[in-house]
């Protein structure tokens, strides 16, 4: 059995297959996911699991060089933004329009859907290298 924190087999598989500059998304229950983008649906009910729980779990295993957040998060969900900033530390953030983020899901390796129901709780994680 795996010893690392990510025990969801689909999330673990996607992380292990990511290369430099590949992206994976994590988001709220309402984010529309393109039909051809793999959706890993963890949502059980409203708020379970939370966006931050899943983000923390994925970050425990994925080397991230940059994150993308919706520009709208600054005004619509500043509490969540503060929590993300605290968790990611010095990792650079690029703010993009939410509509662009939805389009960018066409290029992600997968999107992990949570039970989060707060506005703009979505993130794209850009994979870095460990060497």
Residue 41, annotated ligand binder?
no
Query: Within a domain: residue 1?
Result: no
Residue 127, annotated ligand binder?
no
CATH code of 38's domain? 3.40.1650.10
Catalytic: which of 4, 9, 20, 107?
Answer: 20
Residue 33 tokens read as 């996911």
Query: Within a domain: residue 111?
Result: yes
Nearest to 102 by CA among 30, 47, 43: 30
Query: Within a domain: residue 60?
Result: yes
Residue 83 tokens read as 């929590």
Supply the range of the domain harboring residue 80.
Answer: 9-127
Residue 125: helix, strand or coil by DSSP?
strand
Q: In the annotation, is 20 catalytic? A: yes
Which pLDDT score, from 0 to 100, does residue 2 have?
A: 75
Query: Within a domain: residue 81?
Result: yes
Residue 98, annotated ligand binder?
yes
CA dihedral 67, 46, 29, 118 (to 10 degrees): -50
pLDDT, tens only, 38-87: 999 999 999 999 999 999 999 999 999 999 999 999 999 999 999 999 99
| Number of domains, the chain | 1
């Amino acid at each position: 059995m795996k010893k690392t924190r990510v025990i969801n087999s689909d999330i673990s598989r996607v992380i292990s297959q990511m290369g430099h500059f590949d992206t994976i998304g994590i988001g709220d229950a309402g984010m529309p996911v393109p039909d051809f983008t793999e959706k890993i649906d963890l949502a059980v009910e409203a708020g379970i699991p939370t966006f931050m729980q899943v983000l923390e779990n994925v970050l425990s295993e994925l080397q991230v060089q940059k994150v993308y957040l919706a520009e709208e998060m600054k005004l619509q969900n500043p509490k969540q933004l503060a929590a993300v900033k605290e968790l990611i530390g010095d990792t650079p953030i690029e703010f993009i329009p939410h509509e662009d983020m939805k389009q960018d899901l066409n290029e992600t390796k997968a999107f992990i859907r949570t039970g989060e129901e707060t506005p703009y709780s979505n993130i794209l994680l850009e994979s870095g290298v460990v060497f």
